Amino acid sequence: MSPNDLMDKVVSLAKRRGLIFQSSEIYGGLASCWDYGAYGVLLKNAVKAAWWRSVVQERDDMVGQDAAILMRPEAWVASGHVATFSDPLVDCRTCKARFRADKLEDVQCPEKPSKCPGQHNACDLTEARSFNLMFKTFMGPVEESAATVYLRPETAQGIFVNAKNHMNTTRRRPPFGVAQIGKAFRNEITPGNFTFRTREFEQMEIEYFCPPDQSDAHWDAWVEARYQWYLNLGLKADRLRRRAQGSDELAHYAKATVDIEYLFPFGWSELEGIAHRGDYDLRQHAEHSGQDMSFFDDATREHWVPHVVEPSAGADRATLAFLVDAYDEETDEKGETRVVLRFHPRLAPIKVAILPLSKKTELAEPASRIAAAMRTRWTVETDTTGSIGKRYRRQDEIGTPFCVTIDFESLTDHAVTVRERDSMQQVRVGIDQLESWLAERLEPPTRQLGASWIFPAAVGGQA
Ligand code: GAP
């Protein structure tokens, strides 16, 4: 399958199976805006939950927050976004299309080949103009400049302005970090590649505050931790890489940045950037707000401004990468093709499908009782329509790891058939064992909690 075919297939599956729809489709669609459907929202929520679990719940040096999208406009002056968050914009005088002057080689002329040469560096282009990417709006009923506010272009600034609040309310001291998931908005000149580059998107950001002399070590550790996160959730290692940004690519606030990139069908592209922001942001906010953003170190009796390491990921980009990576097609000996999304169980939108072999009440009732029990723990879908083969295929297409079939034998042997998505193997499992059987496979324990792990020295065990 060619990369273009793969992307087309993923986009069409996403629409057909309720993962992702075009925004305002009945009105002709709104360019570069997408709505997550029934399975899409479960997938994206699972990606965000896995991120939160890894960077907040499983660490003792992290807390979370959820800041407002709208902030005082001064915050965006201090951050440098009002002055510098812009892309160079050029127009083609022939076809009137607009492009980023620094990305001309990436774009195709819509008029090609009839009017334009098709390669925009050879087109009749205007001079580059600087175009600020922030969306502006007005707060309150008066449309005047005093009431101008911006839709945040990154969630990060909501963390910087609260840095002191976190230190005061959680007794945290550097090194510690704050995590946040939320919407961000950028008036991108050239959005595209499905949900990869959009004007409204969700970020998963961390600002990690550290002593200046430890910041390089924390930066390295975060690059490694974030790279491993994508691998642990199943992205193929040969499609994932770390790449240090060149000095000409760095954002205005960054001393250095490593990008984690995924080999999408349209080429290697950024999933996440891990930036070393130095003390840029806290110093800027101190200067513009007049507030002291330094930290008093009891040990050294000195004031210093923490340095910041920022792992900044896109929830939509990560979701797209997991979707593309999971897509697979298999053709059997009869020539029939099975489309399967091989999601990591933690990410699968539906974990368990309950499939009573017949709609008859003898099977419908136990099936609905089993579904109700499983639903207290996992996302479950019951499907009663069509042949069992068709129902398996439908679940494969949305990546459900386990299908549970209740048949007439279940009434006497009190067991069900569990079919696994990837191997298609089937096993008979007693109904009273079903929850623990599934739990073992859907939520494998990361550690065996036992005395030898908790007190390794005392009991002579291994950690
Ligand atoms: N606070 C730092 C920051 O915002 P960024 O590299 O501009 O850095 C971080 O954005 C992440 O947000 C990117 O790696 C990407 O995953 C996501 N992102 C940025 N712009 C996006 C867009 N237009 N559409 C979808 N995701 C985007």
Query: How far apart are the C-alpha atoms of 276 and 257, rounded to whole Å?
Result: 6
Q: Provide the phi-psi class of 419: left if phi over 0, else alpha when psi is between -120 and 50, else beta.
A: beta
What pLDDT shows up at residue 93? 78
What pLDDT shows up at residue 462? 47
Centroid of ligand 1 to alpha carbon of 144 (angstroms): 30
What pLDDT shows up at residue 229? 97
Per CATH, domain 350-442 is 3.40.630.10: no
Q: Which of 71, 181, 252, 270 to mutate to test the pocket of ligand 1 (most atoms within 8 A of CB)?
A: 270
Query: How far apart are the C-alpha atoms of 437 and 425, rounded to whole Å?
Result: 15
The residues near 93 (Cβ < 8 Å, ≥ 6 apart) are: 123, 124, 125, 126
Question: Nearest Cα to 46, choosing from 280, 251, 326?
Answer: 326
Write phi, then psi, for 425 (nearest 5 degrees).
-75, 150
Q: Determine whether 105 is exposed, middle or buried from the number of CB atoms within 10 Å of its CB (0-12, 13-18, 19+).
A: exposed
Residue with tokens 């009923």: 141
Centroid of ligand 1 to alpha carbon of 314 (angstroms): 6
Question: Nearest Cα to 65, choosing from 145, 154, 150, 177?
Answer: 177
Centroid of ligand 1 to alpha carbon of 155 (angstroms): 10
Protein fold of 3-79+138-323: BirA Bifunctional Protein; domain 2 (3.30.930)
Q: Whose CA is nearest to atom 4 of ligand 1?
A: 154
Residue 226 beta carbon below 6 angstroms from any ligand 1 atom: no
Beta bridge partners of residue 106, listed in sequence order: none
Centroid of ligand 1 to alpha carbon of 253 (angstroms): 14
Walk along the chain (463 residues) in steps of 10 and give the mean pLDDT of each run.
91 97 96 96 98 97 98 96 87 77 66 52 76 92 82 98 95 95 94 96 98 97 98 97 96 95 97 98 97 91 96 98 98 93 97 95 95 98 96 98 97 97 97 97 76 74 46
Residue 154 beta carbon below 6 angstroms from any ligand 1 atom: yes
What pLDDT shows up at residue 110? 58
Pairing mode of beta strands 295-297, 302-304 = antiparallel
The residues near 7 (Cβ < 8 Å, ≥ 6 apart) are: 193, 194, 264, 265, 266, 324
Question: Which uninterrupted H or E stretch holds 38?
Answer: helix 38-52
Q: Whose CA is nearest to atom 20 of ligand 1?
A: 197
In terms of DSSP H, where are the helices of 240-307? 280-289
What pLDDT shows up at residue 167? 93
Q: Whose CA is nearest to atom 21 of ligand 1?
A: 197
Query: How far apart are the C-alpha atoms of 260 and 385, rounded to whole Å?
Result: 43
Q: Whose CA is nearest to atom 18 of ligand 1?
A: 314
Q: Which two tokens stand for residue 10?
A: 């993923």
Query: How far apart are the C-alpha atoms of 161 and 158, rounded to whole Å?
Result: 6
Q: Determine whether 311 is exposed, middle or buried from the number of CB atoms within 10 Å of its CB (0-12, 13-18, 19+).
A: buried
Residue with tokens 């007005």: 138
Question: Nearest Cα to 338, choosing from 298, 407, 277, 392?
Answer: 392
Q: Whose CA is nearest to atom 17 of ligand 1?
A: 314
Q: Give the domain ranges of the chain.
A: 3-79+138-323, 86-132, 350-442
